[in-house]
Structure 1
Amino acid sequence: MRARLRAPRGLVPSLPAFAWLCAFFLVPAGMVAVFSLGESAYFGTSPVDLSAPSLDRYGEAASETFRIVFVNTLQIAVVGTVLCVLLAVPMAYLITTRLTGFWKYAAIAAVVIPYWMPFLLRTYSWRILLGDHGPLAEGLGVTGGFGIVDTLSGAQLGVVYNYLPLAVLPIAVALDRLDPALRQAGRDLGASSWRVFWQVTLPAARPGIVGAALLVFIPLMGDYVTPAVLGGVQASVVGSLVSSSFLESQDWALGAAAAVLLILLVLAVLAAAALALALGRLVLRAVRPLDLAARLRPRTGTARPARVSGDAWGLLLRGYGVLMVLFLWAPILTILVYSFNDGRTLPVWGGASTRWYAAIPDNAVLMQSIGVSLRVAALSTLVAIVVGTLAGTALARAGRPIRWSLLGLLLVVFVTPEIVTSIGLLLMYVAAGPALSDGTLRLVIAHAVISTAIVAFVVQARLSSLDPRLSDAAADLGATPAGAFRRVILPLAAPAVLAAAVLASTASLDDVVASSMLGNVGTTTLPVYIYSTLRNGMRGDAAAASVLMMLGTALAVVVLAWVMQRRGQGKSFAAGLVGR
């Protein structure tokens, strides 16, 4: 009897992800590296002349002319990451240690929901809040505004606001896994609340802090929209250099070289941070006692510092939480109110009116952009869910060689700034010619590539929490691998898959970078349409349309959460939304 050849465990579900990411990520990334060695050809069949490869473009991108751009990028990203993490730790601590039941979920929702709101909407709203005629200036009697908009400080404020939720969630997840008995043991040993926090709680939050720093720093390095909206010319960053090189000056070789340097800068910072963490762990291991009791027992012969009562700490934390929620929601509530502005321009209040909502159907370009956004979001989410779910299954169930190879590829996708992925796809689309000339197809591919890693990690987190013997039991009962996946794995992963679909669709609806670079005539999305009008101020009908899409997204998530709660899978769905 001939022996049957069996594929390695996890190979089949991993193949679509390998094929998809190799075709639409690794190949385009390789094209960026190759084009950076050429010379921009402003006339001819190819945008870049590769007949005499050289490193001249790297020298030009790193010259004194553009050095300030790299300095601004690094400063905004590093300072923004540090501020986000510092602001996130107390909020995460409040959520996990001081709040329970309804208030805990309400606090999580108050942090998460603002991140789902349209990116440009919540960014531009700071121009209204801090503007010369904004509610803060009018309420405080400040003439001439606060002098923050169109400065580097304005860009810094914007990135901290936009990425702060990404820092809170991983830290909260890490703290939530800490056994409360450990903190109680520290108090029973006589340690102060501050000492318990410093020596027990904070080390437990270290993985979440590292994850938060990565989630904030990597997209920040490629974000040029926030600095452009709130920082103006004083906040020029590498992303804007790359974008303008491809879309305006047509110097594609310089843009490719700047993109490669951006990746190298990201990797250099990550390597330096990893080295610092490793050295820090070695130092702490050498000087820190290993026994928890010895670490927390009061030192003899020293006066115990005056303690702040638990009620006082709780009150301070709750006050901080209220301020944090106000900070996150003030811009959203501002744009919601100003969408009913009857004034000629959106930032200057001229009375209440619904005329901008009534004007939406009359703006054909706006209506077309809404349709394009919805269509691209639906199609890209479908592709990302199919490929990402299979990839997440492979990450949770595959053997070590396949799992580590796929994980490495997904991490490379994750750490690559979106602007680099976008220009790589642009080079590929141009090289492919008519085969990839359809604007909708271009955007669907780009958005799906960016979302695949998100879906894969969310699904992996869900499947890793399940008993792996369930698949073995199904096989023992005669189920094929495909049958076990369809009847066992997929139903159990359904809450995470739906949560990942929410994250992927909102990311697509909110995307500016890839949509602005890869769309063509007739495929302008709503965020790109809004971004193109910001130089003269956001149009009232565009703001009204964005508010409606914002409310529609929130309503869809609430309904979906209610349905999952009725099916007994509400907690799993909520965990997927926060990446657990």
Structure 2
Amino acid sequence: MKANGAAGTGPIAWVATSGLIVVVAVPFVFIVLQAIFPDLGRSSLAAPFLHLPQMLSDPKLLRMSGNSVVLGICVMLAAALLAVPLAVFRALFKVPFAIFWDVALLVPFMIPPYIATLGWIMTLQPRGYLQQLTGVHLAPFLFSLAGMTTVMALNTFPLVYFAVSRTIEAVGARYADVGRVFGASSWRAFWRITLPLSTPGLAASLLLVFAAAIEEYGTPAALGRRSGFDVLVTEIDLRISDWPIDLAGAAVFSLVLVILSLAAFMTQRWILSRRSYVTTGGKPQAKDKRPLGVMTIPVLLLFGLVTTLATVIPLLAILATALSNTISGGLAISNLGFSNFAAIADNSAGALRALGNSFALGLGTALLTGILGAVSAYAVAKTKFRGRMVLDLLTALPNALPGVVVAVGLILAWNQPVLPITPYNTPLILLLAYCCILLPQTMRYTTAALHQIGDNLEAAARVCGASAFTAFRRILLPLIAPSLVTAMLLVFAVATRELVASILVAPVGMQTISVFIWRQFEQGSIGLGMAMAFVTVVLTTLIPLVLLSLLRRSGLVAE
């Protein structure tokens, strides 16, 4: 009997393939079709490629593509400048209060980028908090490429910090010590030995930051438009939200964005395939880390400075705005109160409905991506059925699909006049968008867990008469549950505050948390929007942590 063969794997493979076609393939295929057939929205395949020469020669396309690449590179470099020194100190030396710094530097990742950006606007704009406290403002800096780069790097650098610190920690100092024995200086040993061995974590995290930067909508929309620095994401939004609607142009711009995202992931693979980065040692011992000595105070100041910029200032700005009765009243004690939080409790402007909608969508997304991610990862990692390579491609495709591209694809796919029934303009369209955007999270965690499980357990179950589905449900699923549950909690936290897809495809009259916050800022109710933002950050951080704690106590998730 073939434990990992095609026999008995049909239902699982069918579920995985069908789910991935609906969630991933459909929006991507319709973007390609719309780029080729300009009248696809009228169910016509006439005049293929008619508009492509004009679109590809549009100076906007080249300029905005260049702006997107420049922004991505700038954010990537700024994130590396912030994260790599901190990661090196954290990995190789005994940094005082190390756990505290890890938690503090995780917070920026938990603050949605558009919320952090709004906090910086309230701080640095004319008559903002900085000017109220010091008499100066930094609006020219904030509303510029440098300002966008700084804000986005402060939000994304934790990806690099944690990846690089853990990678260097696994490498340890022992290999550099060997170089020192043969006469290398400390700097040369680090540069020629430790850093190259840390390339996997560094390359993966930096390219992930690049991809996140070119896909981010909130910060370029809030800061870039005022400085005239438009990027592909904001242009795509403009073409599908402002009259006249230009679906063909949005599709072409979306494909360019997909190509840029895909190029980042292909670059990562190319870097890692050039040479081997495998070390023979295991986990480093505590004695591998050395005391900082005279560097203790400078290193602590560095950690403190970055934590203040990335965590303390945005959170204080969000809270100060949320507590302000009127924005014009400033930071005066008499102007502070809980009126905005009371308004949320009273369901002002549909605040409670927005919370309920987002939590329901987040829960549904976590469940669906958990199921689809688990069966897809199993089909790719543990079976040999025909079409497995296509399925593998479909599981990798969401990595290259920015949220705005997914939204455009869903609009094109499910807004066709010939469809007798469609999820468009219903909450289901948001669920499909969230699942496509966040499916890589559960796929990544589950695939890694499955690769750590040998084939013997499943083979034994198959020999005893169990079907592939039974073996998966009774043996593999409980073993991968810790990784899967962790990924699902992450999906829930991110889905509840997703911005760009929510703005573009949310049904008429339906608000999510992110749509509520964005509209409050557009309408001038900044305090109410920031109160919702603060509630969102607290809830989406605490709920997964509480659930993880309960699951650990129950034994489902390991300590």
1:356 and 2:337 matched: no
Alignment partner, residue 413 of structure 2: 428
Report the Cα offset of residue 75 of structure 1.
Answer: 1.0
Distance in 1 between residues matched to 2:461 and 2:4, nearest whole Å: 20
Cα pair 2:105 2:310 within 8 Å, conserved:
yes
Say if 1:396 and 1:182 are closer, same or farther in 2 by CA, change over 3 A: farther
1:326 and 2:311 matched: no
Deviations 1:145-191 (A, max 9, x none): 44223322222222212222222233234223325533443445454
Alignment partner, residue 323 of structure 2: 340
1:437 and 2:424 matched: yes
1:373 and 2:372 matched: no
1:28 and 2:21 matched: no
* Aligned residue runs from structure 1 range 387-402, under 5 A: 387-399=372-384
Say if 1:550 and 1:224 are closer, same or farther in 2 by CA, change over 3 A: closer
Could you tell me which runs of 5 or more consecutive residues in structure 1 were left unpaired when the two chains were aligned: 286-290, 293-307, 573-580
Alignment partner, residue 60 of structure 1: 55
Equivalent residues, number: 543
Cα pair 2:12 2:375 within 8 Å, conserved:
yes
1:77 and 2:54 matched: no
Calculate percent identity across the aligned residue pairs. 23
Say if 1:537 and 1:461 are closer, same or farther in 2 by CA, change over 3 A: farther
Could you tell me which runs of 5 or more consecutive residues in structure 2 were left unpaired when the two chains were aligned: 281-289
Report the Cα offset of residue 196 of structure 1.
Answer: 2.5
Q: Which letter maps to 1:21?
A: L
Matched residue SS, 2:142: coil
Which 10-residue stretch deviates more, 366-375 or 450-459? 366-375
Distance in 1 between residues matched to 2:378 and 2:466, nearest whole Å: 17
Alignment partner, residue 383 of structure 1: 368
Which 10-residue stretch deviates more, 461-470 or 326-335? 461-470
1:122 and 2:106 matched: no
Q: Which letter maps to 2:121?
A: R
Report the Cα offset of residue 245 of structure 1.
Answer: 1.0
Cα pair 1:381 1:501 within 8 Å, conserved:
yes
Cα pair 2:411 2:424 within 8 Å, conserved:
no
Say if 1:348 and 1:133 are closer, same or farther in 2 by CA, change over 3 A: farther
Alignment partner, residue 210 of structure 2: 217
Alignment partner, residue 172 of structure 1: 165
Matched residue SS, 1:241: helix
Report the Cα offset of residue 124 of structure 1.
Answer: 0.5
* Aligned residue runs from structure 1 range 41-440, under 5 A: 46-47=41-42, 50-60=45-55, 62-99=57-94, 103-142=97-136, 144-233=137-226, 234-249=228-243, 250-268=245-263, 277=271, 310-313=292-295, 315-329=297-311, 330-344=313-327, 351-360=335-344, 361-399=346-384, 405-431=390-416, 432=419, 434-440=421-427
Report the Cα offset of residue 513 of structure 1.
Answer: 1.2
Which 10-residue stretch deviates more, 466-475 or 30-39? 466-475
Calculate the aligned-residue CA RMSD, in Å: 3.5
Say if 1:191 and 1:138 are closer, same or farther in 2 by CA, change over 3 A: farther
Q: Which letter maps to 1:335?
A: I
Distance in 2 between residues matched to 1:119 and 1:230, nearest whole Å: 12
Report the Cα offset of residue 543 of structure 1.
Answer: 1.7
Distance in 1 between residues matched to 2:111 and 2:367, nearest whole Å: 21
Distance in 1 between residues matched to 2:461 and 2:331, nearest whole Å: 64
Distance in 2 between residues matched to 1:313 and 1:495, nearest whole Å: 39
Deviations 1:239-285 (A, max 9, x none): 1111111121311111112112222344456656766x489x58x99
Report the Cα offset of residue 95 of structure 1.
Answer: 3.1
Alignment partner, residue 7 of structure 1: 6
Alignment partner, residue 485 of structure 1: 472
Say if 1:561 and 1:371 are closer, same or farther in 2 by CA, change over 3 A: closer
Say if 1:208 and 1:347 are closer, same or farther in 2 by CA, change over 3 A: farther
Q: Which letter maps to 1:487?
A: R
Distance in 2 between residues matched to 1:477 and 1:40, nearest whole Å: 57
Say if 1:17 and 1:513 are closer, same or farther in 2 by CA, change over 3 A: farther
Q: Which letter maps to 2:81?
A: L
Say if 1:487 and 1:181 are closer, same or farther in 2 by CA, change over 3 A: farther
Say if 1:321 and 1:147 are closer, same or farther in 2 by CA, change over 3 A: same
Cα pair 2:493 2:541 within 8 Å, conserved:
no
Cα pair 1:14 1:394 within 8 Å, conserved:
yes
Cα pair 1:454 1:504 within 8 Å, conserved:
yes
Q: Which letter maps to 2:536?
A: M
Distance in 2 between residues matched to 1:570 and 1:365, nearest whole Å: 36
Cα pair 2:24 2:397 within 8 Å, conserved:
no
Q: Which letter maps to 2:189?
A: V
Deviations 1:286-322 (A, max 9, x none): xxxxx99xxxxxxxxxxxxxxx995245554443222
Cα pair 1:10 1:397 within 8 Å, conserved:
no
Cα pair 1:24 1:425 within 8 Å, conserved:
no
Report the Cα offset of residue 457 of structure 1.
Answer: 0.4
Q: Which letter maps to 1:320?
A: L
Report the Cα offset of residue 571 of structure 1.
Answer: 5.9
